[in-house]
Structure 1
Amino acid sequence: MSLSHAPELVHISSGAEAIRTALDERKFDLIITTLHIEDMSPIAFARRVKEAGLDIPVVLLGYDNREMSELLATKDFSIFDKVFIWQGDYRIVLAIIKFLEDRNNVENDTKKVGVQSIILIEDNVRFYSSYLPIIYTEILKQSQNLMSEGLNLSHKYLRMRARPKILLCTTFEEGWEYFEKYEEYVLGIISDVDFKKEGRHDPNAGIEFARKVKERHSDIPILLQSTIGENEIKAGEIGADFLIKNSPTLLEDLKKFMLNNFGFGDFVFKTPEGKEVGRAKNLLELERQLKKIPDESLLYHASRNHFSNWLIARTEFWLAHRLRPQKVTDFATPDDLRQSLINSLREFRKSRQVGIISDFNKESFDPTITFARIGGGSMGGKARGLGFVNRLLSDFEVRYHFKGVKIFVPSAVVIGTEIFDYFVNNNNLLDFALRSDNDADIKKKFLNARKFPKDVVEALKDFLTIVKTPIAVRSSSLLEDSQDQPFAGVYDTFMLPNNEKSLELRLEKLLKTIKRIYASIYLKKSKDYIRMTSYRLEEEKMAVIIQMLVGADHNGKFYPEFSGVAKSYNYYPISPLKSSDGIAAVAPGLGKYIVDGEMPLRFSPKHPSRLTQFSTIDDMLNFTPNHFYALDLNSEFKVETLDEERMIKKYTLQAALEDGTLNFTCSTYSKDNNRIYDGAERAGPKVFSLAPILKYKLFPLTDILNLLLEMSSWGTASPVEIEFAVNLSVPQGKPAEFALLQMRPMVIDSELEELDATDYSEESLLCKSNRVLGNGIKNDIRDIVYVNRRKFETKYTSIMAEEVEYFNNKLIGMRAPYLLIGIGRWGSLDPWLGIPVKWEQINGAAAIIESNYGNTNIVPSQGSHFFQNLTSFKVGYFSVNQIDKDNYIDWDWLDKLDVEEEKIYTKRIRLEKPLTIKINGQKNFGIILKPE
């Protein structure tokens, strides 16, 4: 944005420490607080700031979730200077700072210079939190255009600071006071229609405000917004523009209105005589120039500390202080001096990249360590998580903490969201994609779109000249991996062999893949997901991560020894394990096995020897992974269809045995004596048990997981989930690789009330279970969709999934949350273990029951995106094992109810009175009460 400087941000965890720090240092201009402070409520904190005599504005920045909505509706927030909502757009921080600067500076700057102002009247926190980043971005872009005409640096920044002020108001009187005070300097007005006037909500306040303004100055542009379409006529009558707030293109239309209506130096190498022999804008150019400038110029600058002085001016303090003590006389020859300077610059540039995100540069990109970005805008939630954990690894020096192991985030480049904006807008895709409900048409249109920024294409070509090994191309949207709605598994990920000889062909495939990921925002499953949240689809933007794939080439198959997901909180602890012990799910090969919801090996990193789900030999044989996924390096990838199934293929464990990748991860079953022996040496069927690692510590997996989970939980102040891959097939002398692929906060219900869910007779209960996810009370569910147990057969579970989807879509259309009851595991990829629904097929369910069938005990999934979405939407989740006396479903009561609609295998019931669902999240116990 060409701002004169970036603000320094200081992070503090407790309110008491924040107040103490502010009092001691007296250097802070702003305090931003979230809803969750470890030692007091934010309201109490803001009050104590004022009581401490600190004249510092306090702003509340909260998540757009249920908790925030309830607080806004019930609490008085006047203690704060303003309340904003975080919606994934990093520019909200800029907007908060600029809002406060404008409020403080408007009177002085208007009086002295005649700076213009835009009055924004909006009392909805969510809307002005969306508007302000958009408005400030457009104004600062305009200021940049003006800056190019500046005569010198001071003149340029004067132009920047002479930009229009934004005056945010929430009431009629506040807006009118600003208008009367700066009447001659008002550039325009953006206003809601319904807001407070004279202390009461007035549905015509905005119309009245606009009318009074137009009576005085008919040429002031005014934009009115409302959720009521009829207000467009009223706006037109007084000469104001109008936008409907429910429009899918509201923010884009706001930008269009504004566009249409609101009009340090280089290092110069010289000879002692003053002749210029070279010039450098940055450290890389400085390094290049040092290689070729004449000795006399080198000695001239080195003897006068010009290099260290220039570095200090560029805030490269560490390198400057390293070079300053050196003298020309310390080196035998000018070439020795030259090489020392070049080596210092190169080492410094490389060290800076460890643990940070740099701008991509072909010359400095190191495929072993670099995490870089291409293009501006946000990096999205997934990349932010990776960048954060990458920084933690460096700050705590964890990378080589374990002997013989390298812990790292795979090298990657991130394409920022500005490139997504460019692609969507310049190819005229936005309106079509927002309104279309045909996935095939959306994919085709995105793939065929031709306009892509040339500089980005060139950067990607440079990247591919360096990286010729397999890559993963992954989504990283604004909202992905957020604390309230992780969007897990909603968007696409592709893996490319990236091994063709033709650079142009590899580039074409990469660009097509990026376009497909862009398109995935607008596909049906994404729209269905966002519809269930408080977000707007047009607010979502996509960054893309291009990441080195972890693993090795095994006879034309690329994969790691194993991949996994580890969580610091276990939703289903089996005694003696505790929820806080965490849980890990591991499978051989690529992580697709776990993401798709298949049956991984599960264990607690704190108690790795307790595999409580395996009580018998048969359990080990039947419920451990018997296949794996790998990238086929010899597959022919069709660019037109991007059919990932042609590349990611399923293989048996025998293939892994032949590749030599089971040596550290398997056991062997002996048919002769019906026993399982650790290791792969014996003859017999192999079982993926991870025994050589979990029992004999041949690789410090559990120690690594415990350390990373603890570190990440501390770093995010919440439970976390990490995805990882382990590659043991490394060249001799190289350390084994533990790669962190993703880190996201887990969503755990913040309701802490201990519910009494035991004082009820069995006759009053539809269901009870001691394996329940969630917490709290639901009492608004009158619809039940359930699988007919009398007709249930595992061979028909795919048909059942289609029937459930039919009822789900119908009830979503009716805005009716419902209880879903099934047999076997919901969301299982294996139809023999349960009903293979995807999340979008059941996303209208407010509570879900899964029951075992026969004597089969179905273990709930802990590793799939499906399961993550259940927790994200705070769906009550009951797992019922009817062999256990503490588990119960009253099937007979269900069968006696009148059926509203019936399919072959499923029924829908409509109750006259709602069910009551009570879940005690502290004890993982819950009940569902029949209507009174």
Structure 2
Amino acid sequence: MSKGPSMSRDTNDKDHRVLATRYTEFQNLMRHRVNEVLLVSSLYDSFILAQDGQIHELMLSEYTDLNLYNVPGLTRAGNAEEALELIEKGGRFDLIITTAHIGDMSLAEFARKLRAAAPGVPLLLLAYDDRDLQLVSTDEVHRLFERVFLWQGDFRILLAMVKSVEDRLNVEHDTQAMGVQVILLVEDNIRFYSSFLPMIFTEVLRHSQNLLSEGMNLAHKILRMRARPKILHCDTFEEAMELYLRYEKTILGVITDIEFAWGGEKKRNAGAELTRRIKERRPDIPMVLESFQPEVASLAKELGVDFLLKGSATLLQDLRAFMLKNFGFGDFVFYLPDGRKIDRATDMKSLEEKLRTVPEESILYHAERDHFSTWLKARTEFGLADRLKPRKVTDFPSVEALRREIIDSIRDFRRELTRGIVADFRRDSFDPANSFAHIGGGSMGGKARGIAFLNRMIQSEQLASRFPGVRITVPGTVVLCTEVFDEFLERNDLRDFALQSENDEEILRRFSEAKLPHKALVDLTDYLSRVEGPIAVRSSSLLEDSHYQPFAGVYKTVMLPNLHPDLQVRMRQLTQAIQQVYASTFTLRAKSYIAATPYRLEEEK
């Protein structure tokens, strides 16, 4: 939301289509990966880099810590000749990283031979100290390598080098396909960008990692990692403007030095002019200007941007604080116009709740600056962010009307997210009207699979928009998966007894006295606290609803009125119903039926 030109809000049908294809679009992100890296370095350089010589293990650990699933393979060559031989023998690499010490061959000659042997493969140079930087300072070396980095004791430099290449490969598609955000770094000092990039990438990845708890299911969590903001680094005025204009609609923020090349010469005011031009086009965009000169702080204030002093002992900490505050990372912090903090929201649910109580002046302050859409985009909620951003504050008769609009948009979007997918059960996102969620791991069983399939088809085929005035839905459903059933049998020592017993009454008694797993009970209590009206407790076994050997009508269904005012009473009724359905798996009727099929009772769950 802003004070700028108004755009009409997307129609409900368009919002529906956007959400229907949301997960498919996520799957298409980050299509180009760095799967194999060739590291050309002496044994000593490798030892310095990894401290104990185990480079791949350190990289694996770093990726694991950040919940990254695509860990590149790493092959080390001890010198230039060995590297070229690996490539000549058919070695295929997506990225080549070389140090300055590669044997008798010069860096320039080595780079030219690599370009010929592996055309199109990105080539990066990693220097270890100032002496190395002097060796690689020639124009020819800089032309032959995509980028030169400096080792400063932070192993995450390798992560930054890999991710910077991946971002360049994927940014065009991902920004156009789904509006993935971009952070632009303009810095020509090797020492500083080699320090900034590992911190920026780590912060972005940690932010994405923090969002995993909000994922609907495991697939959704992994896919959200793909939609993290891209980081694009450049070192000239011309490239910075080119990148900004190309990705203007998706630029999350800009970090720029004050002095870098412009028109082939280093200009002291290049960063200031870049800031002016960008601010003229997007006055609300977060930007920070960095310089060794403290007096540039007043210029930054005049331009309406933040300032970082390069000589500060807390430079990286200050940059991180800027990102957290301005790029939508971390909590959404509510401010008053005078700068006072009054509240914070940790996720979309709490944002919806806090919006009901924060003062009008705080809502107006954030809406005028597009803070809500910025925060949502940083959390990969591009559809909701785009839905909010085009509305002008002046479109609303009052701030209260604006408040209601934002709250309603968030609530509707959160509900839409759960439609058409099988989600992990979460109290804050489960919608009793139409959600489909599971408790525990393992299989859902035949009947639940069929309901889940119908739920997905209704969503993907957009039946609501094809038949106006007709409401076609699947009732809100929660499935106890087979792991809950197995744990129930094992913890209560019921499996052998139930398989061997021929007394239905004794089976029902033992099952009714048993305890459901604690985690399942907690989730069921949360579920029951949100559901009003009758509940059907039905079986959904592995063999049920199979094509050629249906088990329809074999197992028990229990109908609950769910009307008692005491939640604990309703909870006892629900657990007893579940226990009865579980017990019906082992009745004489069920055993006789399954005996006439090719299956064994111990296979059924």
- Above 0.5 in TM-score? no
Question: Under a length normalisation based on structure 2, what TM-score does the superposition of the two structures give?
Answer: 0.44
Question: Under a length normalisation based on structure 1, what TM-score does the superposition of the two structures give?
Answer: 0.29
User: Whose strand proportion is higher, 1 or 2?
Assistant: 1
Structure scoring higher RCO (CA < 8 A, sep ≥ 6) equals 2
User: Whose helix proportion is higher, 1 or 2?
Assistant: 2
